[in-house]
Homo-oligomer: A and B are copies of this chain.
Amino acid sequence: MSYFPQLAERFSELFASIANDRVLVLGHARPDGDCIGAQLGLVRLLRSEGVDAVAYNADPVPDALSFLMEETGIEKFSAEALDGSSLLFVDCADEGRIGPKSSKLIEGSNYLGNIDHHISNTNFAHFNLVEPTSAATCEIIAGLAFDFGWDVDPLTAQCLLTGIMTDTGRYSYAATTSRVFELSARLVDCGARPVTTAQSLYENEPMCRLELLQRFLATLTTRCDGKLGTGYVLHKDFLDTGAKYEHTEGFVDFTRSIEGVKIGVYFEEKKSTVKGSFRAESAAYRVDKLARQFGGGGHACAAAFSTDASLDEIQPRVFAAIEQRLAEVEQGIDV
C-alpha cells in the first residue's frame, strides 16, 4: 500500500541530494498547525534518517502549538544559519510566504525542495513535491514517511496528526479523504493522540479569546440576500480584552457558517494593516482569486490578504468583489 506513488521518485532524488547537507526546513510566516507540524515532523524524520536538519520560521510558534516543541525547536531566521545550507520549504505556496525579511535573506540560496498542498504553488524549487489533492502538507509528509518505511516516533506522529487535524478543520473540509483517515489511523498507532492536539488547540481557551469571540459575534451580519456573511474585530478589541492576533484563529469560519452563506469574509484590524480572510462553501467560488485581487492568495475555499487600507475603505471594495463573484457563479460563469 503506497500513499503517494506519484511523488516517490522525486522524493528519493530529493532525499539523496540532501543526505550530506545541512538542511533548513522553512515554513510560512504567521505559522499555523499544518506549518509547524510539517516543519517539526519533517525535521524529526530527517534527523532520524541521519540528516542534519533544523527548522526556521520568521514568526514565533503560537502558544497553542508549543506542546509540539518539547524536543525540537524552531529557530528564528538569521543570515548565519543560511550559509551553505540547502533550503526545504514546507506548506509555502511560493518562496515569499516565509515573510518579507526572511525572503531577502535567502535571495540567491539553493531552493532545493518544496513540499506543499496549495493549488496555487508556483513550483519554485528544484524538487517540487506539490500535491493539491492533499488536505494538509502533513498528510504528504506522513504518507511519504510510511511509503519509505521511515521510523515515525510518537512525537513526530503527534506533529503530523496536528497538521492534518488543523488543516482539515477537524476532519470537516471537503479534502478529508479516506487517505486522510487511513494516515490518521497509522499516526495514532505510532503514538499520536488526537485528544492532546484538540485539548491544546480547541479546549484551552484563554478567557480573553472568549471575550473577543463574544465581541466578534456581535458584529456578524449577512449581505447579498444572505449569501455573504461578514464580521470584524477592531484593533481596540484586542487592546480592551488583552487578546492576541493568534486568538482570532477560527473566527472566519463563523462568517461562512451562517445558514445560507456562500462566501464568508472576516476582517481583522491590526495596528497599521487590515487582514481579510475568505471562506467559501465550495471550490467554485475560487476565493483564492478574490484574495489575489487584494494582493493575497490561498486555496479555492480558503484564502486571505493583507492591506494598508483602512477597514472602512477596504470593506465596500471587498463586498463589491464578492457580490460580483456570487453573481458569476450563479450564472454558471467559470471564474
Contacts and interface: CB of A to CB of B under 8 A. Distances in A.
Contact of A258 (B165, B207, B220): B207
B203 A253 contact: yes
A242 to B, nearest CB: 13
Contacts of A213: 217
B178 A189 contact: yes
B214 A217 contact: yes
Interface string A214-244: 1001101010000000000000000000000
Nearest to A222: B207
A139 B295 CA distance: 45
Contacts of A170: 170-172
A127 interface: no
Interface in A283-298: none
B185 A181 contact: yes
A170 B168 CA distance: 11
A205 B181 CA distance: 26
Contacts of A188: 176-178, 181
Interface string A181-213: 110111011000111001100111111001101
A213 to B, nearest CB: 6
Going nearest first, the 8 A-B pairs with the smallest beta carbon separation are A172-B198, A181-B185, A170-B170, A178-B188, A214-B217, A178-B185, A203-B257, A176-B194
Given A178-B185, A210-B217, 20 more contacts: A170-B170, A171-B184, A172-B194, A172-B203, A173-B198, A174-B193, A174-B195, A176-B188, A176-B194, A179-B185, A181-B182, A181-B188, A182-B185, A202-B257, A203-B253, A203-B257, A207-B222, A210-B220, A210-B254, A214-B214
19 contacts: A170-B170, A171-B171, A171-B184, A172-B194, A172-B198, A173-B194, A173-B195, A173-B198, A177-B188, A179-B185, A182-B182, A199-B281, A204-B259, A205-B259, A207-B220, A210-B217, A210-B258, A214-B218, A217-B217
